[in-house]
Amino acid sequence: MRTSGRDSGTPARVSDSISSWLAQRPAPGTIPVAGRRLFREVKLSRRRHYHRVSLPRVPRTPRRARRADRVHLGHQKRAIKHAMMRDCGRRCVYCAAPLDFDVATIDHVFPLAKGGIHTPGNLVTACGRCNRLKGDLLPTEFFARYPWAGMNFIHYARAVHRALKRCARRAVSLAYAQAA
């Protein structure tokens, strides 16, 4: 293999291609032929600088194609509800009533309205009556008003974050201590 005189380790073909590429470079201040369609309406400013044009990185896809890629929200909610039913023993975590899948509702222990998040550690199953009774009350407020619900929560809510269970224990013990 022949090497060029400039670099002893660079093959001649590589150095020839680099020199031919340098020879094809456009003169300073002109727009290259390949870039003319991108910068067709771009003008030089007074200081002879190009204005920046931002181009999308990924070509846009039609809306119908984007919809096909999404997971249907109904299937996702159903899967979450099945997991919650399994984790809570198919019972309402507040009144301990047995629940069917159609009757059960998903409850956020720490309500979304008060800054709670939609994660498995914050979700439990509840009957519609208890879910409406709790509303957007914080767990401490709810368990202080209804200590029986807190006792059932401690027993049946198995997959809930441990901080929520600790909070329920404190609220129940305070409520029973004040009642006595």
Domain limits of the chain?
Answer: 1-55, 74-179
pLDDT reading at 160 higher than 80:
yes
Question: What's the confidence (pLDDT) of residue 38?
Answer: 47
Question: What's the confidence (pLDDT) of residue 39?
Answer: 46
User: pLDDT tens digits, residue range 34-66?
Assistant: 555 444 445 555 665 555 555 556 566 666 655
Question: What's the confidence (pLDDT) of residue 63?
Answer: 64
Q: Are 99 and 152 in contact (CB under 8 A)?
A: no
Identify which of 83, 94, 90 has the alpha carbon closest to the alpha carbon of residue 120. 83
CA pair distance 165, 47, nearest whole angstrom: 66
Give 81: exposed, middle or buried? Use CB within 10 Å, 0-12, 13-18, 19+. middle
Predicted TM-score (pTM) of this structure: 0.58
Residue 27's pLDDT band (boundaries 50, 70, 90)? low
Q: Are 92 and 60 in contact (CB under 8 A)?
A: no
Question: What's the confidence (pLDDT) of residue 180?
Answer: 75
Identify which of 121, 111, 118 has the alpha carbon closest to the alpha carbon of residue 163. 121
CATH number for the domain formed by residue range(s) 74-179:
1.10.30
Q: Quick one: which H or E segment has residue 105?
A: strand 105-108
Better-scored residue on pLDDT, 119 or 73: 119
